[in-house]
Structure 1
Amino acid sequence: MAHPRISVEQPLWRALGGFRVLALVYAFAKYVYHSEQYAHPAGAWAYMIALTLWTLLTLPRMTSAARCTRPFLIADLCVALAGILLTPVVDTHARVVGGATTLPSFWAAGPVLAFAIKGGWRWAAAASAIVGVSNIVERGRIAAGNVHSIVLLFFVSTGIGYVMEVARSSEWALSRALQIEAATRERERLARDIHDSVLQVLAMVQRRGNEVGGEAAELGRMAGEQEVALRALVAGEAGRGGGKNAGRGGGKNAGRGGGKNAARDDARVPVQRTPLAQDVERETGPVDLSSLMRPYAGAKVTVAAPAEPVLLPPHAARELAAAVAAALDNVTRHAGPDACAWILVEDEPQEVRVSVRDDGPGIRKGRLADAEREGRLGVSQSIRGRLRDLGGTAELTSVPGQGTEVELRVPRSALKGRGGAEACRTTR
């Protein structure tokens, strides 16, 4: 799934653009109010007009870090310094010494804040120090008023710069986490597909080869070796020694004792996808989930579904049908060929629920964890993984001697708001 890029920097650039405009209005209004007190108002007017044009023309630059380049930042800072150093030239000495506001006034803080957002606290410290020195030069001495302003600007700008560095690091970490999450989900999807197709076919070839004997037995032994190696790879143990063992002792065991276990656990013919389940891949409109469940009905499988269609997005219907097929396949493998299964489809206002129950011997405690470590991902990926990606949950309840029930739940909100393809929590 594509995640939208999260940017904490963009709102700050927009806020800085607004600050520059408001600071310009303040500086211009303050100058107009005191213009008669200036010694050379014509020079001050020229600077204020130039400052206004510069601010308005450079507004597009204040929209992103890419547009606000380092040469532009230096030029912007020079405009502020020019106004500060021009103030004692156009204003009277008495007003300058008395602490009158410089021509750019608060606008001079804008370039410093731009340095902070663009380059972090070090750039902010350098820019604020330059502006502070220029204010001391303009006043001709160090006074309590300008020291207060300089220190305030220094702390505010460096603080914003530090926050920006932390925010960028957090944004990068979040982006990396989203990439890892996406890659993990893709691996899980591939693991489901492999489990539902390749591994089951290899197990079937191994069993049939052992039954036929002769050259077919050798083919079955090789299929068993590849199954064990592929299970180790899917389980993520190939790089930690699992794959090595699969290629040596694991492959040998596959042909002997391991092959027997594989044949007993996985070699039965898997539940085949129905024509309806295949056709749904080409659908673009809502699909009736009940129509995908009914082909599973047979002598040992009972399907109960509402009379009205249970309409779902094609992807959600297909994944639910595949999860039910995986549950029925587990019934065939582990509960035995004589076990019966019941499928119940419930269409509720808040969620769609599908239950698959059997009358087999149940699952012993710890069996699912052992199966996942062995690379048998029928429950963890083919069932729970699919429901998690739909935004739903899969709960498995098993009592020894009383059978097993798998309950699949998909909230309507996940199907409508996110198309049934977003991840949510999984009940384990």
Structure 2
Amino acid sequence: MGNTGGRDRVVRMSVEQPLWRALTGYRLLTLVYAIGLFASSYEVYERPWVGAGYFVVLAVWTLVTLPQVSGARRCTKRFLTADLTIAVAGILLSPVAGHERSVTGGATLPSIWTAGAVLAWALKGGWRWAAGASLLVGVANVLQRGDVTRGLVHSVLLVCIASIAIGYVVEVARASERTLARALEIEAATRERERLARDIHDSVLQVLAMVQRRGTALGGEAAELGRMAGEQEVALRTLVAGGLVPTSRASEDAEGGAVVRSMAELGEPDEPDGPDEGDGAGPSDLRPLLAGHAGGRITFSEPGAPVPMRPAAARELAAAVSAALDNVRVHAGADASAWILVEDEPDAVIVTVRDDGPGIPEGRLAQAEGEGRLGVALSIRGRLRDIGGTAALISIPGQGTEVELRVPKK
């Protein structure tokens, strides 16, 4: 349980944050442009001190409020109102400064800096807020020029359409971000449920099944205890199976009556951030984790050199091998023999578990999953999925079963 925090952590990313950074740059560049435009035509103003005073205010405001346009959290409605007020004031002050071109079709004092104020409304509130801010700027331009010209309509429509489009994109991006975050949360919760289900299968369910078998064999009061254990086992299996997302099932060969390979190709594993992975410990040798299975009817074959793996991956792979051997003991019988083969290839570690039992009848794996018996689905394929590996099962009735576990090297 110590590593579940790292495994279930959901990484949230902001799709709209690059737009806020772009807006910050836009406001700075358009401030420089507006000041340069004013300076280049300074001598044609009748009251240039009005324009100079406005640009002092505009420059101070733009620089001081840079943090407010760094993200949606800091960009409050109060700031947006003040920002748009300064833009509208600059438009209305243009004729007061005495620049005739500002009335007959030239640029106003804030020039294209005004679009940045409208875009801030779009990023914060979406296309509806953008439409309202654009309309207010359009009215200010009409009042400043005293007439509705083709050029004015073109400029106002351009700002309006651009801001509404950006506002709509932001709304879609936010909805997509919420959907993605929810999907990641569901995936993390599903992974945790699967991990808990594997642990339950490997411990509690195994013990309950053993108590049921032993109790039935002993008879008497032990038989009653075994019956109760069996009921609890069925109830727990139903609970575990009901809380999981359906897993992939082994494909069936309709012609040969064999259960063939079913590759659980799953994504990148979540790296736990517990002390066993983050304390600087080196790779673990897989061989000692598997050597303990060797016995009278289990043959263990290993390479002559260490098989290094990440500690967490090595433990999960060893647990999957244990689950495969448990299936051999339960389903193939006490007299069945098993072989464990470890192969250390350049790009992957492969462990094969093979037995000489009766094999798996056609459709048995799918039936077992439907009954809540998820040993193969969770304890084997589920473990390999979580470490980025795959599990392949080959079984032909009467010829035994082979489970191939492959973990790619990172």
Q: Same fold (TM over 0.5)?
A: yes
| Number of the residue aligned with 1:235 | 241
| Number of the residue aligned with 1:346 | 343
| Number of the residue aligned with 1:5 | 12
| Number of the residue aligned with 2:306 | 309
Match status 1:392 vs 2:398: no
| Number of the residue aligned with 2:141 | 135
Q: 1:160 & 1:96 partners in 2: Cα distance?
A: 28
Q: 1:114 & 1:282 partners in 2: Cα distance?
A: 43
| Number of the residue aligned with 2:51 | 44
Q: Which runs of 5+ in 1 are unaligned?
A: 239-279, 414-428
* One-letter amino acid of the counterpart of residue 362, structure 2: K
Check 1:323–1:8 CA distance in 2 against 1; reply closer, same or farther (3 A cut): same
Match of 2:174 among 143, 154, 168: 168
Match of 2:67 among 60, 80, 102: 60
Match of 1:218 among 209, 212, 224: 224
| Number of the residue aligned with 1:417 | none
Match status 1:297 vs 2:288: no
Check 1:53–1:120 CA distance in 2 against 1; reply closer, same or farther (3 A cut): same
Distance apart, 1:352 and its partner CA: 1.1
Greater helix proportion = 1
Match status 1:103 vs 2:109: yes
Distance apart, 1:340 and its partner CA: 1.1
| 1:149-164 matches, cutoff 5 A | 149-164=155-170
Match status 1:356 vs 2:363: no
Check 1:282–1:292 CA distance in 2 against 1; reply closer, same or farther (3 A cut): farther
Match status 1:78 vs 2:99: no
TM-score normalized with structure 1 length: 0.84
Relative contact order (C-alpha < 8 Å, sep 6+): which is higher? 2
SS in 2 for 1:89: coil
Percent identity between the two aligned chains:
64
SS in 2 for 1:346: strand
Q: 1:299 & 1:220 partners in 2: Cα distance?
A: 30
Q: Is the Cα contact below 8 Å between 1:354 and 1:409 reproduced in 2? A: yes
Q: Which runs of 5+ in 2 are unaligned?
A: 1-6, 245-275
Count matched residues: 371
SS in 1 for 2:303: coil
| Number of the residue aligned with 1:330 | 327
| Number of the residue aligned with 1:203 | 209
Q: 1:34 & 1:200 partners in 2: Cα distance?
A: 87
Deviations 1:321-370 (A, max 9, x none): 00000001111111111111111111112111111111111111211111
| 1:376-415 matches, cutoff 5 A | 376-413=373-410
Check 1:120–1:365 CA distance in 2 against 1; reply closer, same or farther (3 A cut): same
CA RMSD of the aligned region, Å? 1.6
Q: Is the Cα contact below 8 Å between 1:387 and 1:394 reproduced in 2? A: yes
Distance apart, 1:281 and its partner CA: 10
Deviations 1:256-299 (A, max 9, x none): xxxxxxxxxxxxxxxxxxxxxxxx99994321101111111111
Q: 1:297 & 1:353 partners in 2: Cα distance?
A: 18
Distance apart, 1:134 and its partner CA: 0.5
* One-letter amino acid of the counterpart of residue 22, structure 1: L
Q: 1:219 & 1:41 partners in 2: Cα distance?
A: 99
| 1:253-272 matches, cutoff 5 A | none
* One-letter amino acid of the counterpart of residue 323, structure 1: A
Check 1:62–1:237 CA distance in 2 against 1; reply closer, same or farther (3 A cut): closer
Q: Is the Cα contact below 8 Å between 1:208 and 1:220 reproduced in 2? A: yes
Q: Is the Cα contact below 8 Å between 1:281 and 1:318 reproduced in 2? A: no
Q: 1:97 & 1:113 partners in 2: Cα distance?
A: 25
Deviations 1:68-110 (A, max 9, x none): 1110010110110110111010023x32332110010010001
Match status 1:15 vs 2:22: yes
* One-letter amino acid of the counterpart of residue 221, structure 2: E
SS in 2 for 1:376: coil
Q: Is the Cα contact below 8 Å between 1:80 and 1:104 reproduced in 2? A: yes
Q: Is the Cα contact below 8 Å between 2:298 and 2:338 reproduced in 1? A: yes
* One-letter amino acid of the counterpart of residue 104, structure 2: G
Distance apart, 1:9 and its partner CA: 1.3
* One-letter amino acid of the counterpart of residue 403, structure 2: V
Match status 1:88 vs 2:85: no
* One-letter amino acid of the counterpart of residue 322, structure 1: A
Match status 1:371 vs 2:378: no
Distance apart, 1:18 and its partner CA: 0.3
TM-score normalized with structure 2 length: 0.88
